[in-house]
Every structure is written in C-alpha cells, then in structure tokens.
A and B are shown apart, each in its own frame.
Chain A
Amino acid sequence: MITLDGVRKEYENEVAVRTLSLQVPPQQTTVLIGPSGSGKSTLLRLMIGLITPDAGTVTVNGQPLSDANVQALRHRMGYVIQEGGLFPHLTGRDNAALMAHHFGWSQARIDARLNELTDLVQLNPDRLSQSPSELSGGQRQRVSLMRALLLDPDVLLLDEPLGALDPMVRADLQDDLRTIFRRLGKTVVFVTHDIGEAGFFGDHLVLLRDGAIEQQDPMPALVHDPASTFVTDFIDVQRAPLDHLGDENRE
C-alpha cells in the first residue's frame, strides 16, 4: 500500500531520516514511535508528499509519488494533525465538507455523507454549526477525522492526534478511534511518542531512533525480544513512574 524505498531526508545539514526502507502493510494499523526528533513525523509527511525525499522513492497504491500525481493520491489519503488543523474561518460542517464543496457535490449528497460520518465518529451533529474555536479539543479531533474520511480514502495518516488532549478525553477518543479503525479496515499510520498508546493501537510498531528504524515488530516482540538496550530503555522509561508507585504500595 505505502512503500518507502531507500528514502533519505536532510534539513540544512541535519539528517531527519537516514536512508531507510519501510513497507506499511495494508488494512492494518502501523504505529511510528520514537523520541522527539527521531523522524517519525517526517516519515508521515513524506508519505503524503508534503515534503519530498532527497533520495529514494515513496510509492502509494503502486504509484511512485510525483508532482503530477500527488494531488490525486492525496484524495486517497486522510491526514489529521495534533491540534486538528481545522480552518478557523469555517464552521465544523464546512471544514468537514471542504473537499465535497471543491468537487461540487450536491447538498443532499454532502448531508448524507456528513450524517454517516457524525455517526461514525460519535459527534453530536449540532456541533457542526460551530466554529473550531467554540469546540472542545476532543470535538475538534472528531471533526478533523470526519474531514480526513470524507472522500473515503484508503489510507489514514495521523500525526499525534491525541497529543494535546487531557487524559480523560484522550482515553475516550482512543477507544473510539480503535473501534473506527477496526470497523473501516483501512490502512492506518499513527504517529505517537507514547508507548502505551502505540501498543493500544498498533498491529505493527516501528520504533525510530535518530532517523533510522531501530526495530519493527508487534508490541510483545518489542518487550520480550528487544533489538537493543535502547528499545528496552524507551519502553521502561515510560513505564517507570507507575512501577515506582507500585513499589511504594508494596512496602
């Protein structure tokens, strides 16, 4: 579905992605995980052609990405960023239906599609008439997901979509998102630095370090069969606070 072949990206002498190859398996959720600066967001933006690689090729649906086909391929991909990326001058409805307006859909078709999507993302349809600044963080991400899903794309790319939410809202949305991913059976690429979230969503985890792939495996393999001490450290660091609490309780 999405293949990166020998891809490399540098920013002003700083290497963001070292030469790497990666196959994103279709109809599964792949999680790109790693510390800040490990290159996970860069990989995601390479996949949708927001940046072009200095070397190597990105292939989507069997077509190498180029200036000529990038617009059309983007219509087959949905993209959601941390704060939702909703346009402040448009209501929730107009944000979600932006591409439908662009393609000149009839109002009836737009309304029908928005109804399906509000059901899917569990959003009260009344919220759609509000502007982004009037919505809560969770509601904004639900609208953003509607916008990404409007054209029924094959691929969903999500760049830390839950990163800015408070823990309760986040837990709610995690559940809903996983349900949606399972129900739709789309190819999903999900970027996060949270190992718990990665294990929760990911069929397949890709752990990145300094622009290179450290290990790619399902969660249990990362824990029980780590490729390096970095993998173990990365997992343990995020588990430590709770373990420490556990130790106290034991005493």
Chain B
Amino acid sequence: MNTPSILDPRFSILIVLALLTAPAQGQDKDSTLTIGSKKFTENVLLGWMGTHLLQAQSIPATHREELGGSRFLWEALVRGDIDAYPEYTGTLRLEILADRSIPPHPDSFRAALAEIGVGMTAPIGFNNTYALGMRADHADSLDIETIRDLRAHPDLRLGFSNEFMDRADGWPSLKRTYNLSHTARGVDHDLAYRGLATGQLDVIDLYATDAEIKRYDLRVLRDTKQYFPTYKAVFLYRRDLQTRVPGAISTLRRLEDRIPADTMQVLNARAKIDQTDGSQVAARFVNRTFGLATTADPDTRWERLRRYTADHLVLVGLSLGLAILLGIPLGIVAAKRRFLGPTILTVIGVIYTIPALALLAMMVPPLGLGRVPAVTALVLYSLLPIVWTTYTGLKDLSPPLLESADALGLPAGAKLWRIELPMAARSILGGLKIAVVINIGAATLGALIGAGGYGQPILTGIRRANLGLILEGTVPAGVLTLLALSLLEGLERALLPRSMQS
C-alpha cells in the first residue's frame, strides 16, 4: 500500500496525551505548591513575596502570575489548580461570599471559608480600598473634593475597570448611594490611568495603594458616606496544605501585619513606574524584612523567549493537531451526510462567533486553569476554517470525475482516500493556513488562564505600560506565523503535483 500517512493517528494521540498532562514550563503539579495572583501589579508582588518566602524555607513553590480577576482565582483555589493567592477582605465579603451576608469581621469569614476548605491569614497590613480619583488640577478647577461633588458635573467622563463596573460593591450601587447621574464605561485598569493622563477620561476607580496616585498627581475623592468597605490584603490558602505541605501556612503567615500602606505604594511604584522586575522587587522586600538572602535572578530576555516559545508551540501544535484530527473527519461527514452536514456547519459557525476571550473563560469552570482548557478552546476555535474548507473542497469536485471513480468499482473509503481527499487537498490546505494564523494569534490569550506562551509578556507589558514587553510577545508570534505559513507552503509543494499548485 502506498498510503501517504504523515502521522499514524494512534501515535499522534499518544503524543497529545503526553503533552497535555506535562506541566507547562516551570510548574510541577504534585510536589510543588502553586501560588496564584490576579492581573495587577500589587497582587503579583504579593504573590512573589509568598513564593520567595516559601522558597527560602526550602518549600518548592511556583508562581502563576496574572491569572485574571477575583472569581477566576477563587475558583482556581477551590478546584485546587492553585494552593494560595492574595485576596482582599472587602472582595471576599461583598463579592466572593456575597450570598452569605457575613458581618464585616475577619473571624466570621474564617468560619464560612473553613466550610469550603479554604483558610485565611490575618491581614498583611495595608487597606487597599477602592477610591475614585481624578487629576488634581482638574478637580481644583471644578472644585471637586468628594464623590458627592461629582453630582454637580454630570458631563464628566467616567471610566472604570471592568471588574468595578459590575461587582456588588462597584459602580452600580455607588451610583445609587451617591445618586449620581453619570454613565460610565468599562476600561482596563492600567489603560484607565493613561486615559486620565491624556484627558480622555475625567474620573476613574483607583486602589488606595496605586503607585500612579503620586505619579500623576491625582486627587482621591473623599468617600463621605463611607461607601467603600475596607479591603485588607490577606492570603487565602487551601486548608489541605496543613497536611500536604507542612510549614507552608505558617510561612505565609509571617507576612501578617508586615506591610503598611505607604510601603506597598513604594513597592508598587518600583515595579510599575521604575519597571523593575516584580519578582526582584518582592525578593528585595522579603530579604530586608525577614533578613533572608533569596535571590530572584530574573531570566534573561533569551531565557524568557525560550520559555514563551516552548509554551506557545505546545499550545499551537497540540490544538492545531487535534483540530486537524477532528476537523477533517467532521468536514467529510458534513459533505457526505445530507441532514447531519448542515447541523455540523452551523454549530461550528456559532462556536466561532464566540469571542476567543469568552470561549477561553468558559473553559475554566469545567476544566480549570492551564493547558487543558486553553488547548480545548483553541481546538474549537480552529475548527471552522478546517471543517468548512474540507466541506467545500469535497463538494466542489467535478461530478464526471467522481463518476469515473465510481465506475472503476472503488469502494467509498478507497474513493475518499485515493481520489476525493487528494483532489480537495488544495482547499483543505488553504483552510489549514487560515487556522494557523487564527490559532497563533488566539493562543496569546492562553496566558490569561495560566497556559503561558507569547501572551505572558503581552499581559505583563499591558499591566506595566511597557511597549518593549508587549513587543517581546507580539514579534515572536508574528515570526512564528510566518514560519508556520512557509512550512505549509512547503508541504503544499511536496504533497500536490505541479498541475494542482497555484
């Protein structure tokens, strides 16, 4: 038999399983404690502090930084994807445990959390409450000092972080409490500062310890009605750490009451405004405070690039491979089955209309964080071009040629393999190229759910307003796309006879 098999399907399934279960670079699930952090600087710094402290006690710990918002981290903790993360008491009371109406005292959460298997340290020190802020000169010119004063200026442009826009203690009830008539729009928190600086926004939400307050000379509007609750930073951890990693909890508790608000503001400024590596800022603080000597040697640019590339290649390679294994058969069924066919095409079309970010987020509740949900979402996302081009490729074949194949007495399977698929190959390869481009781009979102890849520096770059870091992700992604496309061109030249090439 001269069947041109590129990969034995059984072999490729084994590879897929091996890669899916392999940890992303630098995370080893069983023996290592995993700290998570939300995607803003202060939380990332706290995450690093916890990680460095644990490592200094010879407890193997890794940090999955900038995973997402509160809900995301909370669910990851409950599921066991991460073992601990820094949280704020206000968020805990009003957002995460909102349906339990818990009195605002730390001891009362402890009991509620314990029921879910989650423990909580005492506050680390500072109170990072929400606040509203605007440029001091602008506030002076309008004579605004308190949130209440905004009422007199209904034409001010308000831009709030997306989380603040819809959380229980966020904009909707703030608006009611102060009887404000403004409409606000959602923006990324880090972009909001830039909007304020360039005059595109007038009022934004802040965290009380944000480094930018001093830098941009902002006025924090007084909360005369004491609307905003306190947001004391704590570490949440899984209670099973007690037995699983002895000493881990007591190590995290060493941070209790060690970081006053002004210290946190300085640390935030160092990471965000001076662009010092977050891991290093945290290590220096931990060393000074506890008299330790942990070193956070930051990776060189090349080491980082190597790590991002490895993670990105796994994401793209796995998801494309699976999308091909799944998409070509689906396209064949769509072309061959009169009733099932349109259904398949419609369902895959509808999946594609879900924004990649939303699809990724939908994968987390059932599949957790990391590679599995990221690859699953990317497979679903890459199916459309492959299925549709396989379908049209097969449907567009010339009827007389198909009759000639039938007249030879070729059974359906042999006809498909020897005649139809090769004649549709140009169309299918075209779909594959589109899938590659879509996939490499969409895979950068994988960093949001801890799958690493070129999205990681992009995410950090956006957070730190650092164009260099953003380019560290986008440029290699572009180069990878070009390489993958030329690889496919080569494949096309090798597989298709000259007569069928463009």
Q: Do A and B bind each other?
A: yes
Residues of A within 8 A of B (CB): 45, 48, 50, 70-75, 77, 79, 81-83, 85-91, 98-99, 101-102, 104, 131-134, 147, 157
Scan residues 399-427 of chain B and give those whose CB is less than 8 A from a CB of chain A. Answer: 400-401, 403-411, 414, 418-419, 422-423, 425
Whether B2 is near chain A, meaning CB under 8 Å from some CB there, is: yes
Range of interface residues on B (Cβ < 8 Å): 20 to 34
A132, B400: Cα distance in complex, Å: 15
Q: Which residue of B lies closest to A132 (CB)?
A: B499
A88 touching B423 by the CB < 8 A rule?
Answer: yes
B245 in contact (CB, < 8 A): no
Query: Contact between A83 and B418 (Cβ–Cβ < 8 Å)?
Result: no
0 or 1 for each of B334-348: is its CB under 8 Å from A? (1 = yes): 000000000000000
Which residues from B are CB-within-8-Å of A48? 407
Asked whether A85 and B404 contact (CB < 8 A) given A75-B409, A104-B1, A133-B499, the answer is yes
Chain A CB within 8 A of B26 CB = no
Question: Told that A87-B423, A89-B500 touch, could you supply 13 new A-B pairs with CB distance under 8 A?
Answer: A50-B407, A81-B403, A86-B404, A88-B423, A88-B500, A89-B499, A99-B410, A101-B2, A101-B418, A102-B418, A104-B1, A131-B497, A131-B498
Question: In whole Å, how far is B396's beta carbon from the nearest beta carbon of chain A?
Answer: 13
Judging by beta carbons under 8 Å apart, are B409 and A85 in contact?
A: no
Q: Which residue of B lies closest to A134 (CB)?
A: B499
* Interfacial chain A residues near B414, Cβ < 8 Å: 102
Encoded as 1 (CB less than 8 Å from any A CB) or 0, chain B from 2 to 42 comes to 10000000000000000000000000000000000000000
Instruction: Tell me the bound Cα distance from A85 to B408 in angstroms.
Output: 11
B496 on the A face (CB < 8 A): yes
A89 touches B423 (CB 8 A): yes
Contacts A85-B401, A89-B425; A74 near B419 (Cβ below 8 A): no
Select from chain A the residue with minimum beta-carbon distance to B496: A89
Query: How far, in angstroms, from A20 to B496 measured CA to CA in the complex?
Result: 46
In the assembled complex, the Cα of A87 lies from the Cα of B500 at a distance in Å of: 11
Interface residues of B in 128-158 (CB under 8 A from A): none
Residues of B within 8 A of A77 (CB): 407
| A50→B403 contact, CB < 8 A | yes
Shortest distance from the beta carbon of A64 to any chain B beta carbon, whole Å: 17
5 tightest A-B contacts by CB?
Answer: A85-B404, A74-B409, A79-B407, A133-B499, A131-B499
Task: Look across to chain B and name the residue whose beta carbon is closest to the beta carbon of A85.
Answer: B404
Question: In angstroms, how far is the closest chain A Cβ from the Cβ of B502?
Answer: 14
Q: A71-B411, A102-B410, A102-B414 are in contact. Are A91 and B404 (CB under 8 A)?
A: no
Instruction: Please list 6 pairs of residues, one from A and one from B, whose beta carbons are closer than 8 Å in the complex, sorted by A's number.
Output: A48-B407, A73-B409, A75-B409, A82-B400, A88-B423, A90-B422
Report the nearest B residue to A71, measured CB to CB: B409
What per-residue 1/0 map shows which CB atoms of B177-195 lie under 8 Å from chain A?
Answer: 0000000000000000000
Query: What's the least CB distance linking A51 to chain B, in Å?
Result: 10
- Could you tell me if A89 and B497 are in contact, using CB atoms closer than 8 angstroms? yes
The docked-state distance in angstroms from the alpha carbon of A137 to that of B44 is 72
Residues of A within 8 A of B406 (CB): 50, 74
Contact of A98 among B1, B401, B418, B496 (CB under 8 A): B418
| Nearest neighbor of A104 in chain B, beta-carbon distance | B1
Residues of B within 8 A of A75 (CB): 409
Q: Would you give the shortest CB distance from A41 to chain B, in whole angstroms?
A: 11
Nearest CB of A to B405, in Å: 8
A216–B406 CA distance with the chains assembled, in angstroms: 30
The minimal Cβ–Cβ distance linking B343 to chain A, given in whole angstroms, is 26
Chain B residues, CB < 8 A from A88: 423, 497, 499-500
Q: How far is the CA of A119 from the CA of B422 in the complex (A)?
A: 30
Chain A residues near B419 (CB, 8 Å)? 87
What sequence of 0s and 1s flags, for each residue 349-381 of chain B, a beta carbon within 8 Å of any chain A beta carbon?
000000000000000000000000000000000
Asked if B500 and A74 sit within 8 Å, CB to CB, the answer is: no
**Closest CB-CB distance, B425 to chain A, in whole Å?**
7
Contact A91 to B497, CB < 8 A, known contacts A71-B411, A72-B409: yes
Is A89 a contact of B422 with CB atoms below 8 Å?
yes
Interface residues of B in 379-409 (CB under 8 A from A): 400-401, 403-409
Contact pick for A74, options B1, B2, B407, B425, CB 8 Å = B407
Residues of B within 8 A of A74 (CB): 406-409
Q: How far is the CB of A189 from chain B (nearest CB, A)?
A: 13
Q: Which residues of A contact B422 (CB under 8 A)?
A: 87, 89-90
Query: How many angstroms between the C-alpha atoms of A147 and B422 in the bound complex?
Result: 19
Shortest beta-carbon distance, A208 to chain B, in Å? 20
Question: Which residues of A sit under 8 angstroms from B1, Cβ to Cβ?
Answer: 101, 104
Decide: A99 and B423 in contact? CB cutoff 8 A: no
CB contacts (< 8 Å) of A70 on chain B: these are 409
Q: Min CB distance, B140 to chain A, in Å?
A: 76
B421 to chain A, nearest CB (A): 10
Q: Which residues of B contact A86 (CB under 8 A)?
A: 404
Give the CA-CA distance A149 to B425 in the complex, in Å.
28
Chain A residues whose CB sits within 8 angstroms of the CB of B500 once the complex forms = 88-89
CB pair B2–A99 under 8 Å, yes or no, is no
